[in-house]
Amino acid sequence: MGVKTDIQWSDSTINPTTGCEGCELWGPKTRVCYAGNLHETRLAKSMPLLYAADFSEVRVVAGRMTQAASWPDLRGKEREDKPWLNSYQRVIFVGDMGDFMSKDVPDDYIEHEIFGAIESRAGSRHFWLLLTKQIRRLAEFSINRGGLPDNCMAMTTVTNQHYADKRVPDLLKVECKWKGVSAEPLWDAVSLKQYLSEQEIHWVIIGGESEQRGVTPNPFELEWGRSLINECIDADVPAFVKQLGSRSFDGETPLTLRDSKGGDWSEWPEELQVREMPKLYPEVTLA
């Protein structure tokens, strides 16, 4: 979390909460969430007031969103390491270390702390990516407040077709101008064709799973990435391939990559070297 991040598709990350109610990546039997592992092995020990010993205990951290809103304006600034972000506002990913829509986060906190900062004068200089697996709650929340601000994108994650068919219909109900899907980590082939054709999804992130604490990561078939890219091309939706993961295969052949997460796109087949950002302009009004 911070003003700089290694995550290729954003400039910065911020976490208005710690902990998470869990998902298919984190529960009694599955412990492959990067955030959950880092939280329990390091953060809970070094900052016990902010991070509970158990990742499933959610805490709010007031003030962080305001801090992020105050970060310097990046409009017109070049990013040498992430040239695809040039011409964008500062792109801030909210919740890389937990899920701010977890059931224990009060509505009032979400409204005042999170959307208060996004809609503030300072916060409206940036673009905020709201990625949550609790997308049904975000949909209900957005309807109750009469819509989300135009300088944010509602996003959800899909790992396989089951979760795509469970979450994307709720994503489409969110009252927000911009909507995106993160298909990362992909655990199986996914088709988003029926949803992309509705022209309400503006961005698709694609990626394989990284290794966590010695747990063998799920494999990533390059064909899953190719197929999603082609669906995006057909629907004229920008796609962003983040990483091939720590265990990728091209057909039967395992790939040997120098980057342990498969995040160096110079190592990938050319057709997968796709890093497009959503077409926000000229619709987004700058503050």
The residue ranges that bind ligand SF4 (CB under 6 A) are 20, 22-23, 25-26, 33, 35-36, 98-99, 133
Compute the least distance from the CB of residue 235 to ligand SF4, in Å.
26
Q: How far apart are CA 76 and CA 281, in angstroms?
A: 13
In sign, the C-alpha dihedral spanning 137, 139, 142, 143 is negative
Q: How far apart are CA 70 and CA 106, in angstroms?
A: 24
* Residue recorded with tokens 């961005």: 203
Which residues in the chain belong to E strands, given as ranges?
Answer: 12-14, 17-18, 59-60, 90-94, 126-131, 152-157, 178-183, 203-207, 220-221, 239-243, 248-250, 253-254
Which residue lies nearer to ligand SF4 by CB, 35 or 192?
Answer: 35
Q: How far apart are CA 25 and CA 159, in angstroms?
A: 9
Which residue lies nearer to ligand SF4 by CB, 22 or 116?
Answer: 22
Q: Give the HSE-up count for residue 7: Cα atoms under 13 Å, Cβ half-sphere.
A: 25
Adjacent-strand bridge partners of 39: none
Which residue lies nearer to ligand SF4 by CB, 159 or 248?
Answer: 159
Which residue lies nearer to ligand SF4 by CB, 18 or 151?
Answer: 18
* Residue recorded with tokens 């109750």: 144
Compute the least distance from the CB of residue 113 to ligand SF4, in Å.
18
Q: Residue 202: which residues within 8 A CB-CB, separation 6 or more?
A: 153, 178, 179, 180, 237, 238, 278, 279, 280
